[in-house]
Amino acid sequence: MATGVAQRTKFLLDESQLPKRWYNIRADLPTAPQPVLHPGTGQPVGPDDLAPLFPMALIQQEVSEEPEIAIPEEILGILSLWRPTPLYRAHRLEQALGTRSRIFYKYEGVSPPGSHKPNTAVAQAYYNKQEGRTRLSTETGAGQWGSALSFACRLLGLECKVYMVKISYEQKPSRRSMIQAWGAEIVASPSTDTESGRAVLAEHPDSPGSLGIAISEAVEDAAGRPDTAYSLGSVLNHVLLHQTVIGQEAIAQMELADAYPDVVIGCVGGGSNFAGLAFPFLREKIAGREIDVLACEPAACPTLTRGVFAYDFGDTSKLTPLVAMHTLGHDFVPAPIHAGGLRYHGVAPLISQLVRDGLVRADAYLQNDVFASALTFAGSEGILPAPEAAHAIHGAMATAMAADEAGESKTILFNLSGHGHFDMSAYDKYLAGTLEDVALDEDEMARALRAIEGLPTPA
């Protein structure tokens, strides 16, 4: 039987090939990012403004212009529990689609919590511990991030409190247990543990919660205790930085496959897995290489495709600094679709800037179409994907089919950011035919965008 590279399914790197440095796209951006503003003064925030919430090492990474930042040994040691992650050629999916294109995927679901999220959770827990913090607070949507931070805190000996968006808390009891198994304390958000949570409950006792609300609670928790720092699982520059091990590995693995992607695809909630895969390729695109880079989002929360680029708060209660990003408005509560990790009103400022500069494009999908693609994928490649990651699968399949229709053959690479083993209630609903398709309606969008009226305008 032929065993040439064209027949191979898995492209694996040795542990010694784990990237030793993170890639910082800020050094290469064609347009400088907009400054982060203090909501009270409207002036750019300085490191001291952020110090109550984050350790200095992460604040420095947030504003660093260095193209590469060394990864400390202790972090590499923990990452090597599951990294480098495999890259697959999706032969069987290609056959199922009958496509002329080649489809590859990078699989982040092999980490202990089941997604890309621990790539930054471990780094954040490490730097907080270095600077003497003993406890971290955070929000979680789908539960993947809460699991990842609970896991990282356990391995590094920190306490952890997780505010989990109520709808996911109810939909995913096993994620809850997983977070508790690694030792974190967990509460459904909006909760009565914080002023922000109590204010939302007073107005909307049945609120399903949102990432924006849960962030408010976690920030308030951290701001009120000197032993506690806040930890965010996406959006911020340093979080995206930590994820770039994904794309660096993928570049080496595509070389093993004797291939280079025409199209690089990821799903976008806050943007961290997308950035993790895409930024090292965008480095080459900015240097002149031709690559189509596609961000996939839900039609129920179409931040990049229909939101506006504006200064907005990262949370509902307006506790965070103002950042320039694509947003649907900070009090927007997305419909309770099953891709809980994609229900966020904003997106990473670095990705927003790249969309503005025409280096990244975006598309939005309805959840029944996404689940149909997830099952086609599971039926050929075997892996049952997280609903978030299934948006990238759907984007990759749509790209392959469009290429076929145009008589072209493309090399497509997407990020399979996590498995869906804790998302079975969503699959149950899809299989029972009771999953609702929700596209954001114009009136609700106009209402939500009124929340940003009067805030500073980006240059």
Ligand X SMILES: Cc1ncc(COP(=O)(O)O)c(C=O)c1O
Q: How far apart are CA 211 and CA 164, in angstroms?
A: 8
Considering the complex, state which of residue 109 and residue 197 has its C-beta at the smaller distance from ligand X.
109
- Closest CB 145 distance from ligand X, rounded Å: 5
Number of residues lying near ligand X (CB under 6 A): 21
Q: Which stretch binds ligand X (CB under 6 A): 4-12, 136-144, 197-205, 403-411?
A: 136-144
Q: CA-CA distances (angstroms) from residue 435 to 209, 337, 371, 387, 442?
A: 19, 9, 9, 12, 22
Q: What residues contact 177, with CB distance under 8 A and at least 6 apart?
A: none
Q: Which stretch binds ligand X (CB under 6 A): 169-177, 319-327, 383-391, 444-452?
A: 383-391
Out of 304, 386, 390, 393, which residue is the one contacting ligand X (CB under 6 A)? Answer: 386
Out of 341, 346, 395, 458, which residue is the one contacting ligand X (CB under 6 A)? Answer: 341
- Closest CB 43 distance from ligand X, rounded Å: 28
Q: Is 33 in the site for ligand X (CB under 6 A)?
A: no
Find the residue with minimal CB distance to ligand X: 341
- Closest CB 234 distance from ligand X, rounded Å: 3
Q: Is 137 in the site for ligand X (CB under 6 A)?
A: no
Q: How far apart are CA 18 and CA 255, in angstroms?
A: 15
Considering the complex, state which of residue 54 and residue 145 has its C-beta at the smaller distance from ligand X.
145
Q: What residues contact 33, with CB distance under 8 A and at least 6 apart?
A: 26, 324, 349, 350, 353
Q: Which stretch binds ligand X (CB under 6 A): 17-25, 66-74, 142-150, 152-160?
A: 142-150
- Which of the 8 DSSP states describes residue 331? T
Contacts of ligand X in 270-329 (CB under 6 A): 270-274
Q: Is 148 in the site for ligand X (CB under 6 A)?
A: no
Q: Is 247 in the site for ligand X (CB under 6 A)?
A: no
Considering the complex, state which of residue 219 and residue 257 has its C-beta at the smaller distance from ligand X.
219
Q: How far apart are CA 359 and CA 354, in angstroms?
A: 5
Q: Is 389 in the site for ligand X (CB under 6 A)?
A: yes
Q: Is 86 in the site for ligand X (CB under 6 A)?
A: no
Q: In this structure, are residues 254 and 105 in contact, taking their beta carbons and an 8 Å threshold?
A: no
E strands, 112-260, in order: 135-140, 159-165, 185-189, 228-230
- DSSP per position, 339-375: -GGG--S---HHHHHHHHTTS-EEEEE-HHHHHHHHH
Q: Is 115 in the site for ligand X (CB under 6 A)?
A: yes
- Closest CB 274 distance from ligand X, rounded Å: 6
Considering the complex, state which of residue 37 and residue 240 has its C-beta at the smaller distance from ligand X.
240
Burial of 378 (0-12, 13-18, 19+ CB in 10 A): middle
For residue 84, say if its preceding peptide bond is cis, omega within 30 degrees of 0. Answer: yes
Contacts of ligand X in 408-447 (CB under 6 A): 417-418
* CA angle, residues 165, 166, 167, in degrees to nearest 5: 95
Q: Is 267 in the site for ligand X (CB under 6 A)?
A: yes
Out of 234, 248, 303, 399, which residue is the one contacting ligand X (CB under 6 A)? Answer: 234
- Closest CB 138 distance from ligand X, rounded Å: 12
Structure tokens, 62: 């947030």
Q: Is 84 in the site for ligand X (CB under 6 A)?
A: no
E strand or H helix that includes residue 273 = helix 272-286
Q: Is 113 in the site for ligand X (CB under 6 A)?
A: no
Residue 449 DSSP SS3: helix
Q: In this structure, are residues 422 and 388 in contact, taking their beta carbons and an 8 Å threshold?
A: no
- Closest CB 389 distance from ligand X, rounded Å: 5
Out of 145, 151, 309, 430, which residue is the one contacting ligand X (CB under 6 A)? Answer: 145
Q: Is 11 in the site for ligand X (CB under 6 A)?
A: no
Q: Is 334 in the site for ligand X (CB under 6 A)?
A: no
Q: How far apart are CA 58 and CA 129, in angstroms?
A: 12
* CA angle, residues 152, 156, 161, in degrees to nearest 5: 55
Phi and psi at residue 321, to the nearest 5°: -65, 170
Q: Which stretch binds ligand X (CB under 6 A): 17-25, 53-61, 162-170, 261-269?
A: 261-269
Q: Is 336 in the site for ligand X (CB under 6 A)?
A: no
Considering the complex, state which of residue 326 and residue 410 has its C-beta at the smaller distance from ligand X.
326
**Which residues of the chain form contacts with ligand X (CB under 6 A)?**
115, 141-142, 144-145, 234, 267-274, 341-342, 386, 388-389, 417-418
